[in-house]
Structure 1
Amino acid sequence: MFSPPATPQDQPNSIMAPRGVKGKPKAKAHQDSGRILKRKRGEEQISDLVKQVEELDLKASLKNFSDLPLSEPTASGLSASHYKTLTDIQARAISHGLKGRDILGAAKTGSGKTLAFLVPVIENLYRKKWTELDGLGALILSPTRELAIQIFEQLRKVGRNHHFSAGLIIGGKSLREEQDRMGRMNILVCTPGRMLQHLDQTAMFETNNLQMLVLDEADRILDMGFQKTVDAIIDHLPKQRQTMLFSATQTKKVGDLARLSLQEPEYVSVHESADAATPSTLQQHYTVIPLPQKLDTLWSFIRANLKAKTIVFLSSGKQVRYCYEALRHLQPGISLLHLHGRQKQGGRLDVTTKFSQAQHAVLFATDVVARGLDFPAVDWVIQMDCPEDADTYIHRVGRTARYERVGRAVLFLDPSEEKGFLNQLEQKKVPVVRINIKANKQHSVKNQLQNMCFKDPELKYLGQKAFISYVKSVYVQKDKETFKIKELPLEEYAQSLGLPGAPRIKFIKGDDAKERKNESWRMAHMSSDDDSDAEKKDKKDEKEVRTRYDRMFERRNQGVLAEHYSKLINDDGTMIDNGTKDVSKDVDDEADEDADFLSVKRRFTAGDENLGAASGSDSDSDSDSDAEKDTTGVKKVHIAGQDPLIIDSKRREKLLKSKKKLLKFKGKGTKLIYDDEGNAHEVYEMESEDAFKAKGDANTQREKFLEGETERTRQADIEDKEVMREKRREKKEKRKARERAEIAAEAEEEGDFQGLSHLPHVPFEIPGSDSESEPEPRPSKKQRVSGDEEPSKAPKSIETLGDLEALASGLLG
């Protein structure tokens, strides 16, 4: 126990007290003697506690906290928190913990396991006179942030009269602020991930002097989700320590216990011989509901229990989000909350606080809430999705009927999950009774959800994610006897969520592909034939959904032409030459007039693309340019690789306006792909070995290929050089133009035309100079004309009108 901080009077003072003041030395001596007596009294109390703990009988029956050898600060903290009577797990575990033994504690949910390890932690550090200078003395690990917060709050209540420094280390907060205080903490309550981060990154944080390690919900911390993290934490801790593990479903695996370096642990299981693994005050029921009807049943239950406090468990956070948003829009008449691991820490704290303080509310949650959390007065626990195992079921239903209160739980099971999961519950001694849902009390919200998803794309997106996450949660389960994904009606389930259809799920198709691959070729072939026949039959049975747009685009003007006219036309649109008269001319004229009324015609020219020719509605000049006329006056359109298309009727001219009909006359297209530079080229395909050998010897083909590549490289080099020359030429011309502009500007500034500035400015040279007879030599690259220098051929100054006339005659000369 820390001594009280020194007062200013206790500090040494360099200034002497005046002689006239009397009695101060005696008062100081009196204070010192009182402090010494208080310290001696504290040491005597601690020594008495140590003796009482050594003499404690582990087999004695204890009923109250006063029967335990506890220090005065701990006893007063328990009394102030209204803890007087010991529960079964507390009566047996605290005595072993006070003696410093390793403990494996197992008890039902809501039996007070938190105090069973908090009291030994506080008392052992108190008896060892732990101070800030000793560093970290106890480390308590929790699987979830909410449970860590709850443990820390209970530690503050019980240890309010002690002088230990305790800290809460969880994710979602500033790491730097926690690092500044880590070195002064005696007790830490933390989550595994955040603790490992501090052990690796905080320089001043040391655990060499650790005395106690506590794992709450030990089976969850030691499973696959935290295995690597916990192993890394244990590597930082000293092996000589006291270790305590507590959970409602305690682990007994030898590997787990060896990892923690437990030394002769005491297994404390107060309810191992009980008839049931759950509290006797808990009423447990299950009902068999097909998957598509679960959401309707949940809605009906919420509407029927508006004056209750309910927790609804689902498999994934996306399902929690969708159910919360969907039912919130329906306004059930009760407060709705949701909690899952993807929320920010501040939001999670607000939700837990609101639900704890609420009298009537519904909380949609994942298994983040399933372990250890103590929400007061929870009436119902609804498990909408089947839990992964019986242990998870026990922890979920443990949120109600705590501390011998009454509670009720209902489990929704799909018909495919009933047999397998009931066997698991029977092995764990969990009594459940089947109940039936009254049909007249059940209301469907399927149509309302579909309407909301149609109007709100965000809600539809949440529904798609919820569907995929649920299917994935079922797919990854190890217990395939309970979770049979192929027996679930997924299409109907998607419709019950308000979705127009089931989203595509890739991992299920991949699983089917693996199974087909492992079968023999013949069996796979037979199954594929059977599947194809079944698919064809299903397609025939299904009614195709056709919208008004489909019907509109499928309309054809079939009744315009006479019946005998269709007999004169082949399927490809060519005329049948049987020597008969063209009786369809008048009909064609009428049809063409109808088509011209408020219609948009597409015209494909027969130029480079060879797609068609001009129509009869276009001008004669266009039609002559696009199609060639025969000597008889018949138009012909040439198509690459095909016979010329003869246009001998207006129907054939209309044929050229339809891309769909022109596909019959065009060859097969080639697929183009784009490289990194954006250039299009055909798809590279591997050549067969026979085709390769048909071209000749490999060495000959290699030489031919190298020659072609060499020539292509040479041509590319020539083109590149030409491009560079052109760029240099343009650059040179720009430089010359800039130089001429600078020279002209200087000449204009220096020239004095003696009042004749109104004359037009023209470039000129001095008459009779050498520039008229001989061309000026080309300057080298090193020569540059700067703005400060005057050009070498600058004009002379003009003083009289005669000089100007002479200059003009020289220029004209």
Structure 2
Amino acid sequence: MNSRSSRRRSNKQIPVKKNTKIDKREKEAKELDDLKKRVAEFDGSKVSTFDELPISSRTASGLKLSHFTTMTDIQKASIPVALKGKDILGAAKTGSGKTLAFLIPLLETLYRNQWTQYDGLGALVITPTRELAIQIFDVLRKIGRAHAFSAGLVIGGKDVQTERDRIAKLNILICTPGRILQHMDQAANFEISNLKILVLDEADRILDMGFKKTLDAIVEHLPKERQTLLFSATQTKSISDLARLSLSAKSSEYISAHEKSVSATPATLQQYYVVTPLAEKLDVLFGFLKTHLKAKILVFVSSSKQVRFMFETFKTLHPGIPLMHLHGKQKQTARIEVTERFSESRYACMFCTDIAARGLDFPSVDWVIQLDAPEDAETYIHRVGRTARFESNGKALITLTPTEEEGMLARLETKKVPIEKITIKESKKKSIKPQLQALCFKSPEIKYLGQKAFISYCRSIFVQKDRSIFKFNELPADEFAESLGLPGAPKIKFMNSLKAKRLKNAPQAPIDSDSESEVDEPKAEENSDAKAVRTKYDKMFERQNQSVLSQHYLNMIKEDDATQSKEDGDDEDFISVKRRDHQLPDSDASDNEGVPRIDESIPVSKRQAKMALSRKASLKSKGNSTKLIFDDEGKPHAIYEFEDEESFKQKGEVEQQKKEYIEREGERMRDVDVVDKEMAKERLKEKRRRRKERALVEKDSDVESENEEFVINNPEKPVEINFDGIDVGGSSADEEDEPKPAKRARKWFEDDEESEESIRRKKVKEQLVEVGEPETLEDLEALSMKLLSTSR
């Protein structure tokens, strides 16, 4: 029975294995050639969906799985141009889909260049804020899930060394300007010479945040042969300067998706404004929240101190809606957590600064409230752009003071922003001043936050450039401080400096007796009013610029009270031991004969006496030790011999010599740094080259093995039979660069005889049987008998 089955197996032809890997590579190469032809022949004038674009199947599947089907106006205009490799200066409204407009060409550029992990950094995306960088990274993960590129975030808030170790392994990098420039200057393994595409998102905001010099330095590090995509919501002179620096003059195009539109904001956005005094803004906001409990609301204010004060006070007052806050002084983990919570919430209110005004996509925002006026019309457009995104509906409300109304409306009109005035019913208004005053009286922390919020708001008004809108001299400081619950307007440092300048420049007026009598009369009235009966709230509101009594300050007051009670002769703590300075009174030598005087150098305690006898103290008394070296003549010299003063002065002035020395050493260190970086980069390039060659060799070996036919009759290649799972084959390609482990030295307790490990290895080698391929049935039976005998 066994002989018949074995004859059938021997007579049966074994099928040849198909070359699946070769077919797959040939198919990919053919698809890549077809894709390049489609891109070259693509017109791009009449496209509305992503399926019509000449993109790879991997990008198309990522878009389909992420439910992106229809393109927006900026995507229709920019993606076909970017796919052809041209530079773009794009301008579009907020919420118009600029992220996909540069991510799709980015992925396609690297795919058409067959980018691998050994080619280094291929694409760089620079954004103004960390939140926007995280959002872009999430979109990239969605649409690029089918690609094999490595992508990463460098946004600060983490260890620099950890980022430095990982940044060399990335193909796509999304970052903020400051941290990426630091890595360019310091990380030797950060190779950017092969960069293919550079993206600057929200470029106007990057320049507004003071990163102009940083961007210029980054662009100088990058190769000139690259594609640049620069996107911004507004077109300003600074953007034009940056475009001339970054874009190529020959192959750059300016694309504006909404240049001919009637409004600078989406048509589905309803915009309102209300005129209210500065002291009633918090009352208006609290009443609005009480009447919109089932809504998702964003509230913008000028400073992070105001965000913190409003969040802490409203959290205590319980308006009935979940509250959150976001500002730049928070830690990175807290900022990420808040943005995720607000995105996932159905009904919530988030107080924030302009850090959330650019690029962030919060789904289903119903209302955007600007409690403080923005610095310009562009900032207003970006703020209201957080709602009514992608043709959805949204509403926006801005509160203006009577002094801000005329100037802000004129600025919005020049930017084509339609806005409607509304009034608030008196029945809907609710004053929260008594609650805020009670909070400030009970909690020093709340009062401290209120003082900081007052000062930061006044400073934000003072530094504004547009004086037609922000009139600092007309601020009702006392009423505004009272609306925050403060007993009085805190003193501001820059206000004091302004008053000092005014008094210094003011002409001196003569002082007469009438003026003195007029000044003295109110003081008498104040003294008479002080005798009247007042409540604790009246006393609190009469104080000016109260400081917060922290726990440290309270402890200081307690210590001062204790010392004062001791000086007054308080005998409550007569049992407690008090430390005093025991010194003999100064008197004549006749009165104190035989009594030694207390010297400061003599130790007065056991601890000081022990320290005086220590080796450190004894060495200190001997002075500094000197080490000598001897020349050829046997004369001693100090290790560091100083030059004579006369010979030093003959060389020139001291400051000039100091300056020359610093310049000389600085130049030498810069040369050494350049050499070190070049050496490190060369080592990195050589390492990547070896890895790439190794990968190609492995592919070729796979191809050769696939081309071989699986035939039984091949006696030239012996069969290795492995026992007990022990691999005795040769080393792989990955192990060629690894050093061989050193032979273990024999221990002192071991004899010269062979160890158990060596005996076991010999047995395994003896069990290996090397034979040729069996040709007949007798050969197969002989081979089976030999295997059975060795296994026993």
Q: TM-score range, shorter-chain basis?
A: 0.5 to 0.7
Q: Deviations over 1:331-388 (max 9, x none)?
A: 1111000000111111111111111111110000001110111111100000000001
Q: Deviations over 1:274-319 (max 9, x none)?
A: 1110000000011111100000000000001001110000100010
Change (3 A) 1:235 1:88: same
For 1:331 and 1:729, the matched residues in 2 are separated by: 65
Q: Give 1:263 deviation, angstroms.
A: 2.9
Q: Choose which of 15, 37, 40 in structure 2 pairs with 1:54.
A: 40
Does the CA contact (< 8 Å) of 2:230 and 2:243 recur in 1?
A: no
Q: Deviations over 1:563-615 (max 9, x none)?
A: xxxxxxxxxxxxxxxxxxxxxxxxxxxxxxxxxxxxxxxxxxxxxxxxxxxxx
For 2:178 and 2:449, the matched residues in 1 are separated by: 29
Does the CA contact (< 8 Å) of 2:298 and 2:368 recur in 1?
A: yes
SS at match of 1:133: coil
SS at match of 1:399: coil
Change (3 A) 1:21 1:159: farther
- Write out aligned runs for 1:660-809 (5 A): none
Q: Give 1:100 deviation, angstroms.
A: 1.1
Structure 1 position 306 matched with structure 2 position 290: no
For 1:529 and 1:93, the matched residues in 2 are separated by: 79
Please name the residue that 1:654 is paired with.
Answer: none
Change (3 A) 1:52 1:505: same
Please name the residue that 2:585 is paired with.
Answer: none
For 2:517 and 2:264, the matched residues in 1 are separated by: 52
Change (3 A) 1:728 1:75: closer
For 2:512 and 2:265, the matched residues in 1 are separated by: 50
SS at match of 2:289: helix
Cα-Cα RMSD:
3.7
Q: Choose which of 247, 253, 268 in structure 1 pairs with 2:255.
A: 268
Change (3 A) 1:255 1:351: same
Q: Give 1:232 deviation, angstroms.
A: 2.4
Q: Choose which of 211, 214, 219 in structure 1 pairs with 2:196.
A: 211
Q: Choose which of 521, 530, 553 in structure 2 pairs with 1:546.
A: 530
Structure 1 position 125 matched with structure 2 position 110: yes
SS at match of 2:125: strand
Please name the residue that 2:373 is paired with.
Answer: 386
Q: Deviations over 1:150-192 (max 9, x none)?
A: 1000000000000011111112223333222211111011111
Does the CA contact (< 8 Å) of 2:324 and 2:349 recur in 1?
A: yes
Letter in 2 for 1:73: R
Change (3 A) 1:315 1:30: same
Letter in 2 for 1:221: I
Does the CA contact (< 8 Å) of 2:89 and 2:243 recur in 1?
A: no
For 1:534 and 1:304, the matched residues in 2 are separated by: 52
Does the CA contact (< 8 Å) of 2:39 and 2:54 recur in 1?
A: yes
Letter in 2 for 1:288: V
Letter in 1 for 2:300: F
Please name the residue that 2:382 is paired with.
Answer: 395
Please name the residue that 1:77 is paired with.
Answer: 62
- Write out aligned runs for 1:99-138 (5 A): 99-138=84-123
Please name the residue that 1:457 is paired with.
Answer: 444
Structure 1 position 234 matched with structure 2 position 219: yes
Letter in 2 for 1:374: D
Q: Choose which of 460, 478, 481 in structure 1 pairs with 2:465.
A: 478
Please name the residue that 1:571 is paired with.
Answer: none
For 1:21 and 1:532, the matched residues in 2 are separated by: 127
Letter in 2 for 1:244: L
Runs of 4+ aligned structure 1 residues displaced above 6 Å come to 20-23, 526-545, 547-551, 725-732
Q: Deviations over 1:23-48 (max 9, x none)?
A: 9x988x846x3212211211111111
Does the CA contact (< 8 Å) of 2:263 and 2:417 recur in 1?
A: yes
Does the CA contact (< 8 Å) of 1:416 and 1:488 recur in 2?
A: no
* Greater relative CO (CA pairs within 8 A, separation 6+): 2
Q: Give 1:225 deviation, angstroms.
A: 1.9
Letter in 1 for 2:142: K
> Once the two structures are aligned, what percentage of the paired residues are identical?
55
SS at match of 1:105: strand
Structure 2, unaligned runs of 5 or more: 1-7, 536-595, 610-792
SS at match of 1:115: helix
Does the CA contact (< 8 Å) of 1:303 and 1:333 recur in 2?
A: yes
- Highest Rg: 1 or 2? 1
For 2:417 and 2:157, the matched residues in 1 are separated by: 37
Please name the residue that 2:476 is paired with.
Answer: 489
Change (3 A) 1:473 1:37: same
Q: Deviations over 1:448-491 (max 9, x none)?
A: 10001100000000100111111111111111111111101011
Structure 1 position 423 matched with structure 2 position 410: yes
Does the CA contact (< 8 Å) of 1:314 and 1:364 recur in 2?
A: yes
SS at match of 2:218: helix
Q: Deviations over 1:527-575 (max 9, x none)?
A: 9999999988988998986378999xxxxxxxxxxxxxxxxxxxxxxxx
For 1:39 and 1:530, the matched residues in 2 are separated by: 103
Does the CA contact (< 8 Å) of 2:482 and 2:488 recur in 1?
A: yes
TM-score w.r.t. the length of structure 1 is 0.62
SS at match of 2:424: coil
Q: Deviations over 1:124-145 (max 9, x none)?
A: 1100101111110111111111
- Write out aligned runs for 1:9-48 (5 A): 30=17, 33-48=19-34
SS at match of 2:208: coil
For 2:86 and 2:179, the matched residues in 1 are separated by: 27
TM-score w.r.t. the length of structure 2 is 0.64
Letter in 1 for 2:198: L
For 1:151 and 1:320, the matched residues in 2 are separated by: 26
Please name the residue that 1:256 is paired with.
Answer: 242
For 2:492 and 2:511, the matched residues in 1 are separated by: 22
Change (3 A) 1:83 1:224: closer
Q: Choose which of 430, 434, 455 in structure 1 pairs with 2:421.
A: 434
Change (3 A) 1:535 1:507: farther
- Write out aligned runs for 1:613-628 (5 A): none
Structure 1 position 221 matched with structure 2 position 203: no
Equivalent pairs, count: 545
For 1:534 and 1:309, the matched residues in 2 are separated by: 58
Please name the residue that 1:145 is paired with.
Answer: 130
Does the CA contact (< 8 Å) of 1:380 and 1:400 recur in 2?
A: yes
- Write out aligned runs for 1:188-203 (5 A): 188-203=173-188
SS at match of 1:222: helix
